[in-house]
Amino acid sequence: MRHPLHPVLVHFPIACWSLATFADFASLRPGQSLWHWSAGLLSVGCLIALAAMLAGLLEFSRVPNGPALRDTFLHLSLMVVALMLYAFRLVLRMDHAQPLPPDALSLSIDAAAFIVLLVGGWLGGRLVFGYGIGR
């Protein structure tokens, strides 16, 4: 019985990116400064996402042709977009290695990245639970 590494790793970037998005939006509430957590969460999420993507590429050869392969390409594309958006969000709101509070642009990027993350994650779940890939 083999144990693929990709499904184990993906939980960390999903959790980190989701929490970073939550922290940024929660900071809109007066008196909240949760955005200070965002930079660290985004950094950890992006680093582990790279490892998860590498592990996913190593398991790519096990995906059968047909609808599963099409969903795999779509999943891969969406998750690359999510990584790029979250990495851009991180770099955008840094000033000399110090995080800055979120503004309208960074909150828009957070929202877009989170939607892409949700759809890409749903497709990943469909690959596992619908097509049985990685089981």
User: What residues of the chain score a pLDDT lower than 70?
Assistant: 1-3, 31-32
- Which DSSP string do the residues of 32-88 spell out, in sequence order? --THHHHHHHHHHHHHHHHHHHHHHHHTGGGSPTTHHHHHHHHHHHHHHHHHHHHHH
Whether residue 72 is contained in a domain is answered as: yes
Whether residue 48 is contained in a domain is answered as: yes
> So what's the pLDDT on residue 32?
67
Whether residue 35 is contained in a domain is answered as: yes
The pTM of this model reads 0.90
Q: Locate 64 and state its tokens.
A: 């059968």
**Dihedral angle computed from the Cα positions of residues 73, 122, 103 and 40, in that order, rounded to the nearest 10 degrees:** -90
Whether residue 135 is contained in a domain is answered as: no
Whether residue 1 is contained in a domain is answered as: no
> So what's the pLDDT on residue 98?
82
Q: How far is Cα 12 from Cα 62, in angstroms, rounded to an integer?
A: 23
Task: For residue 125, give every residue at least 6 positions away whose Cβ sits within 8 Å of its Cβ, in sequence order, or none.
Answer: none
Indicate the number of domains in the chain: 1
Residue 59 belongs to domain spanning: 6-130
Q: Locate 130 and state its tokens.
A: 């619908």
> So what's the pLDDT on residue 2?
64
